Structure 1
Amino acid sequence: MTTPLNCIIVDDEAGAHLVLDHYLKSFSSLTLSASFYNAIEAMEYIHSHPVDLIFLDINMPGVSGMDMLEAMPDPPLVVLTTAYSEYALQSYRYQVVDYLVKPIDLPRFTAAIHKVFRRYRPLTPAQQEGNTAAPPPSSLMLKVDGEVIRVQLDSIMHIQSWGNYVKVYTEQQVYLSPVTTTEIEQKLDKLGFKRIHKSYIISLQHIQKITHGEVHLNSGVILPVGNTYRRDLMEYFR
């Protein structure tokens, strides 16, 4: 293996970060790309960065390690690191590579890494050529009330700026999420959504008509089109 695996640590204890970071430095085939003290920040990082291996704690405030695994449909390889042994059986339903009980010593950590390398199967050049165009995502992960939930993109009608939050209006309900309009716009770029105002992003598939500087959605909602965004919106339909 010539390219090191990109690893991240997700654990709410500073001591665990120090131990794992120290052990990882013993392996030239592993690179610690980032460290996180909560699952939500880690999931945001995984959304936009390549990660091959996660060292994941189970008991964390808010979103637990198990909640994080449940929220990811296709997670990277995972080695669980925990002070509790009673979750071992439950954890293997998520196809984790290994389960390390704290305090973790170097021989046990090394054994887990050997399991990682046996499990890891990088793409061959031929497979890489056939996978250059990955299918676009069909859903969006949102932080809502301290949890991470999956929202299907085709159910989102429009998004409204709400201070340091956004309101995501779907066909079923409205979600309030602590993310800026600009951040969520970047996540939805080229996925059938357009910014039409400093306060609004709309789903193009839910547009009924555009008239007199307004967008009429299928839901009956009428939203203003800002001067800055009007030309880009109209050119999209030419």
Structure 2
Amino acid sequence: MNERLRCIVVDDEEGAHLVLHHYIKDIKKLDLKASFYHPVEAMDYMYDHEVDLIFLDINMPGLNGLEMLRALSNPPLVILTTAYKEYALESYEYRVVDYLVKPFDIRRFMSAIDNVFSRYPSVKPTILDHPVVLATAAASSVVVKVDGDFVRIMCKDIIYIQSWGNYVKIFTTSGSFVSSLTTAEMEQKLDKDLFMRIHKSHIVSLERVSKISGGSAELDSGEKLPIGSTYRRELLLYFQK
């Protein structure tokens, strides 16, 4: 992996290009290689050039963004940038890291970028130049679909996540939310330094774990969660640091 992530913008709106170019230029670990107004042009470029990340619109004339992803045999990571919320669930069939609904500001953009860097620890910046970026890093969040709406949940408020049939139930300091995501999809959204899969059906906030006893993890609330045998060693290693 290169020291900088090679990215492209694919959007049919001039305004979207201007906004993304403005945000990207302040991130030293992003290298904007090209911009395209049509997916076919972007695909033609990608046949001859390595790309790590695409900023991709969905609704475009001719071939739309999701159709472009279906046509790629091995798409890079993707941040979707769209004015339409209804494609969010379908988009997670691909390597979509985040879903930015237009218009989005620098704080929301940086939250998506932080999700990208979490996939590439070797290029994750140690110092971010923009003061707004620092505020965003301290206020990391995830967006999930709950009862047809998109809800932003602050990661610091998440206690644990439990598999709930074909859904996940997210337990937070302010209540619980049921979302139509798999446990694996939810795990990909979370910072691996702060959250850990401790069972096939449980992900826990590490700072909430106060005690490991036998086959269970006791939380600071007194609640006990099961620890799967395949996850126990990693959890013990974390607490022995």
User: TM-score, normalised to structure 2's length?
Assistant: 0.52
| CA shift digits 1:181-212 (9 cap, x unpaired) | 01111121424001110010000111121111
Q: Structure 2 CA distance, aligned partners of 1:173 and 1:129?
A: 34
Q: Deviations over 1:91-123 (max 9, x none)?
A: xxxxxxxxxxxxxxxxxxxxxxxxxxxxxxxxx
**Between Structure 1 and Structure 2, whose CA radius of gyration is higher?**
1
Quote the offset at 1:27 in angstroms. 11
Aligned length, in residue pairs: 159
Distance 1:62 1:188 in 2: 21
Aligned to 2:154: 152
Alignment equivalent of 1:24, drawn from 26, 30, 37? 37
Distance change >3 Å, CA 188–CA 4, structure 1 → 2: closer
Matches for 1:118-129 after TM superposition, within 5 Å: none
Q: Deviations over 1:121-175 (max 9, x none)?
A: xxxxxxx996499764611111111111111111110000112210000011100
Which runs of 5 or more structure 2 residues have no equivalent in the other structure?
1-5, 14-35, 46-53, 60-64, 70-76, 89-99, 110-124
SS of 1:219's partner is: coil
Whether contact under 8 Å (2:217, 2:226) holds in the other structure is yes
Q: Name the amino acid aligned to 2:188.
A: Q
Counterpart-to-counterpart distance in 1, 2:78 and 2:236: 33
Identity of aligned residues (%): 34
Q: 2:232 aligns with which of 218, 230, 238?
A: 230
**Which of the residues 20, 32, 36 maps onto 2:58?**
36
Name the SS for the 2:236 alignment partner.
helix
1:73 to partner: Cα distance: 5.8
Residues 71 and 150 of structure 1 are in contact (CA less than 8 Å); yes or no, is this contact kept in structure 2? no
Q: Equivalent residue of 1:6, what SS?
A: strand
In structure 2, the CA distance between the partners of 1:70 and 1:144, relative to structure 1 (3 Å rule), is farther
In structure 1, stretches of 5+ residues that fail to align are 11-22, 77-127
1:15 alignment counterpart: none
> Is 1:170 matched up with 2:172?
yes
**2:11–2:38: 8 Å Cα contact kept in structure 1?**
no
Paired position in structure 2 for 1:68: 101
In structure 2, the partner of 1:195 is 197
Which residue in the other structure is 2:78 paired with? 49
Residues 69, 4 of structure 1: alpha-carbon distance in 2 compared, 3 angstrom cutoff: closer
How much does 1:49 deviate? 2.7
Cα RMSD between the aligned structures?
Answer: 4.3
Report the equivalent of 1:184: 186
C-alpha distance in 1 between matches for 2:203 and 2:39? 47
Cα offset, 1:68, TM superposition: 3.3
- The aligned amino acid for 2:37 is L
Q: For the structure 1 residues 8 and 147, does the alpha-carbon distance in structure 2 shift closer, same or farther, using more than 3 Å as the test? A: farther
After TM superposition, the score normalised by the length of structure 1 is 0.52
C-alpha contact (below 8 Å) 1:193/1:202 kept by paired residues? yes
Task: Give the superposition deviation at 1:35.
Answer: 5.2
Q: For 1:55 and 1:154, how far apart are their aligned partners in 2?
A: 27
Distance 1:219 1:4 in 2: 43
